[in-house]
Amino acid sequence: MERVLADDMPALVNGMKRELDAVTAVLSTRWSSGQVEGQVTRTKLIKRMGYGRANIDLLRRRILSSP
């Protein structure tokens, strides 16, 4: 964090100062949102594959039946 704050990139420095609590939490905890992000990515992929020809019922069945 010290290297970023000392760097000559004002947008990065300002963003890091604004989100300091979030950055600190990410660097100091073991928790990760990777599993959730993976499920969201998979759901979006299934949704894109059925774009224009699937309704919500078919989308739901495909999401629940996919591995």
**pLDDT, tens digit (0-9, with 9 covering 90-100), for 24-43:** 888 888 888 888 899 999 99
Both tokens of residue 15? 């963003």
Residue 56: closest CA among 65, 47, 66: 47
> End-to-end alpha-carbon separation of the chain, Å?
39
Asked whether 50 and 62 are in contact (CB, 8 A), the reply is yes
Q: Report which listed range, 1-5, 13-17, 41-45, is most confident.
A: 41-45
Residue 1: closest CA among 21, 23, 22, 28: 23
| pLDDT beyond 80 at 67 | no
